[in-house]
Structure 1
Amino acid sequence: MIRILCVLLIILQPFISFSQRDVRKDSIYPENIKLEKSAFRLKQNKADSIKYYANDTVFKLIPDPLSHLDNVGFRFIVRELDMNNVKKRHQTDSLQDAVQMLLQYVKNDSIRNMVYYLKEYFEKRKTEEALRKVKRQIKLEKILSYQPGILKPEEYETDETWKTHALEELYDYVEHDPVHQWIREISRDSVLIGVKNYQNDSIKFWINNGKQDFKRFWLKKNKRDSIGIWVQNTKNRSVRILVDDDVYQQSVQKSKMRGTSVRLVEKISSDHYKLAKLGKYKRYSKKWKLGATLGISFNQGHVSDSWAGGGESSIATISTIGAFANLAKGNHTWDNTLEIKYGLLKSGDNGFRKNEDRIEFITKYGQKAVKNWYYSALFNLKTQAVKGYDYSNDESRKLKSDFFAPAYIIASVGMDYKPNKKLSVLLSPIAAKYTIVRDTAMIDQTAFGVDIDKKVKKEIGSYVNVSHKLKFWGDLSLENKLTLYSNYTMKPKNIDIDWEMILVMPINQYMSTKFSTHLISDADTGSKVQFKENLEVGVRYRF
């Protein structure tokens, strides 16, 4: 019997050795049981090393989730925080959640890789460049596949059909991936810059386009000359503008345009700027248009006593102030103008005498009726500033006029035709005209059509006011102002005419020449037509 057992052991020995061929000496192996994900099994071998194994088997190594952390001490801290991140009495749920969120970021290496990818995408745009290269290669492969007669390089001698198909699949996946499209969209979140010249030629580009390239553009003016510039995208969302060589600059003659200002540039250092981050803001458009013009002109002539032809030396000056305030809101308009003009003349041995004195204020309100027609109401006041004398008598002078002696007031309602900003035609079937002479003791009011025992003359009639301004080029302009008035109660055929024409010819930004004529025909002041003409050369400044 013993012999039989020995023979069986000899026969079974090779099978027992074969079944234990991978078993090492001095090693401890756990039983084949299921463990929790957070549990680890210890393996001890001759090297006394600690390894991580999978849950269901001891032969598959588990990678360390914190292997991307180079600091070994910090790895230990993270593990301790992860195991001990339980609610304490002095901690709140929000603190526990915050610590868990930060631990998740530290342990998750894929989030870090994605963040680095996003950072590199915004700064260098390598993904977009890679997509362009792959697209060009696909097009090249297709062109070569349709032209078999062209010799192909060695790399095309393999199975290029499958390679082209694989590149197309890769390109389509990345190009149409919603995450990549979202990254591309937010990376272009910047400011769109547009440059336009006088001929409406324009270029547009995003400042944050990931490139530091130049764009060529020509700045052209109305005189057909041009300046070449280069617009460059630089880092930190800034723009650099370079002007061509041999460009000469001069001051601009036109007034500066004003508008809503938006802070787009933030100063980082003395030579470093970038676009400032803008929040939500309310944009307000200017409803009132304000402006004023100040002018003064001189005229001087000298004749010596020995001049055989005779004559007198003279000097003359005229000062003007013109201001306007216009409101446009929806279908409503309100135009206000004020003009003040005063001039002095000295001829020969005579003292200074007044040769120009005028104050005129016009306010007109309109509400849109149809297309270019407005319901309008107008108020017009004309008077003078200082006393005026008659110098026909060499021995003495006679007072003829003064402030509000006379003064003309017209109030009317009607329809105003305004096809554009240059033309206005007011037709008023109902208008009241008042002629006022404040001082009847020193001034003859009958010279202005006022009865001898009254200070005010009232009239009811029709009124027409035409204003037209024609611009030729630059500041060269011709302006006409015409008013017509007819009295219903007294001689309606005798129409009062007041026509003024002004031709402005600029010399430079501050100097100009102005030629004006003024014609008045009023039966109340006499049967003769009144006419005056002025040629002025002087200084003018506009606000």
Structure 2
Amino acid sequence: MKKIKWLLTVCVMACVTVKAQDDSMKKIREEAAGKLKNTEKDTTGRLWKKGGAFGLTFNQGSLTNWAAGGDKLSLSMLATFAGFANYKKDRHNWDNNIDLAYGYVNTTSLGTRKSDDRIDFTSKYGYEIGKNWYLSGLFNLRTQFTEGYLYPTDSTKEFVSKFFAPAYIILSPGVDFKPNDEFSLFMSPITARWVVVMDDTLSAKGSYGVDTGKHVKSEFGAYVSATWNKEIMKNVTYKSKLELFSNYKHNPGNIDVFWTNLIALKVNKWISANISVDMIYDDDVRVFENKETGAMGPRLQIKQTIGVGLTAKF
């Protein structure tokens, strides 16, 4: 009888010990799960989102005893970089984007010429005042890296641009409509724009609309900027940016247009193909000759490139 009581006591104590251990382990698991959940919440709710993509395209061609004719050797290189740093907290939204591009082409008949050259930086702050609507302020700077030339003939060239000659600076308060992360429409009826030509030779000619001998021209007008970045199908992304500016001070009906379009086709992690089309119309750029009348005036400027190369995203 005593042995039976002793065995029952041991069993009861063992059950109590196991139950206490189970309760203790359950509490530990719950605490660990809570910490993991908080960690995941902190990670996904970060205030800054940053990233970018670097691309390098290289093309080469050569002809030997080619009856149809052509350049014996042609080489081209294009480097691009697109980066962003965006901040969002409560009603505050701050987007920063930079687009850089630089390219050269070399042929045996024409020599070395620049094929692309772009610096484009935009910073936009917005405070949410309604669903998808933000009271915003925008800053934009657009210029280039190195000297640029026009080629009236194959053997002559004319110096027409360089770093900060020209540069376009925009400072604009307005409203921003952002229904999602893919599309943004910024509108402002009161925008200040400065055209900067920091080269004595070009300013002496009154290039890009500045007064002769002056380096800066100030303009005041209306400004609209629309951006769209969307994956239109699997591994195919379309990015577009359209800017319109009307100068209240001079010919407000002649609207300046700057429109960039890029289609990126992803082949694999490192290789992609890009198709880009840029269009510019600036009424103050009167360096193009009408062959029928001989008069100089503005023209729609179009640049188109196609390339396949290496892409690195981070």
TM-score range, shorter-chain basis?
A: 0.7 to 0.9
Match of 2:180 among 420, 423, 429: 420
Match of 1:385 among 141, 145, 148: 145
Q: CA deviation at 1:116?
A: 1.1
Match of 1:531 among 286, 302, 308: 302
Residues 1:116 and 2:116 aligned together: no
SS at match of 2:152: coil
Match of 1:476 among 225, 236, 251: 236
CA RMSD of superposed structures (Å): 2.9
Q: CA deviation at 1:468?
A: 1.0
Which residue identity is paired with 1:540?
T
Shift in alpha-carbon separation, 1:513–1:189, aligned structure 2, 3 A: same
Q: What pairs up with 1:222-233 in 2 under 5 angstroms? A: none
Shift in alpha-carbon separation, 1:474–1:397, aligned structure 2, 3 A: same
Q: CA deviation at 1:398?
A: 3.1
Match of 1:311 among 70, 81, 89: 70
Residues 114-159 of structure 1: CA deviation (Å, up to 9, x unaligned): 4410444589xxxxxxxxxxxxxxxxxxxxxxxxxxxxxxxxxxxx
Distance 2:154 2:131 in 1: 59
SS at match of 1:434: strand
Q: CA deviation at 1:399?
A: 2.1
Residues 1:375 and 2:130 aligned together: no
Relative to the length of structure 1, the TM-score reads 0.51
Shift in alpha-carbon separation, 1:491–1:281, aligned structure 2, 3 A: closer
Q: CA deviation at 1:191?
A: 4.7
Q: CA deviation at 1:472?
A: 2.5
Distance 2:135 2:282 in 1: 28
- After the TM superposition, which of the residue ranges 309-318 and 360-369 deviates more from structure 2? 309-318
Which residue identity is paired with 1:391?
Y
Residues 1:400 and 2:160 aligned together: yes
Q: What pairs up with 1:28-43 in 2 under 5 angstroms? A: none
SS at match of 1:489: coil
Distance 2:36 2:69 in 1: 77
Q: CA deviation at 1:453?
A: 2.6
Give aligned-pair identity as a percent: 35
Distance 2:123 2:35 in 1: 41
Shift in alpha-carbon separation, 1:538–1:330, aligned structure 2, 3 A: same
Residues 423-459 of structure 1: CA deviation (Å, up to 9, x unaligned): 1000111101100000123666523111113111111
Structure 2 stretches of 5 or more lacking a match?
287-297
Residues 1:348 and 2:108 aligned together: yes
Distance 1:377 1:492 in 2: 22
Q: CA deviation at 1:352?
A: 2.6
Structure (1 or 2) with the greater helix fraction: 1
* Structure 1 residue aligned with 2:51: 291
Query: Given that residues 168 and 193 in structure 2 are in contact (C-alpha distance below 8 angstroms), is that contact kept between their aligned partners in structure 1?
Result: yes
* Structure 2 residue aligned with 1:334: 94
Distance 1:423 1:434 in 2: 27
* Structure 1 residue aligned with 2:291: none
Number of equivalences: 297
Q: CA deviation at 1:514?
A: 0.5
Which residue identity is paired with 1:385?
F
Q: What pairs up with 1:46-195 in 2 under 5 angstroms? A: 113-120=11-18, 188-189=26-27, 191=29
SS at match of 1:117: helix
Residues 491-521 of structure 1: CA deviation (Å, up to 9, x unaligned): 1111111111111111111100010100111
Residues 178-231 of structure 1: CA deviation (Å, up to 9, x unaligned): xxxxx7x76644658xxxxxxxxxxxxxxxxxxxxxxxxxxxxxxxxxxxxxxx
Residues 1:457 and 2:217 aligned together: yes
Relative to the length of structure 2, the TM-score reads 0.85
Q: CA deviation at 1:488?
A: 1.0
Distance 1:302 1:279 in 2: 60
Query: Given that residues 400 and 444 in structure 1 are in contact (C-alpha distance below 8 angstroms), is that contact kept between their aligned partners in structure 2?
Result: no
Structure 1 stretches of 5 or more lacking a match?
1-62, 70-108, 124-182, 193-261, 265-274
* Structure 2 residue aligned with 1:518: 278
Residues 52-73 of structure 1: CA deviation (Å, up to 9, x unaligned): xxxxxxxxxxx8xxx959xxxx
Residues 1:494 and 2:265 aligned together: no
Distance 1:295 1:542 in 2: 9
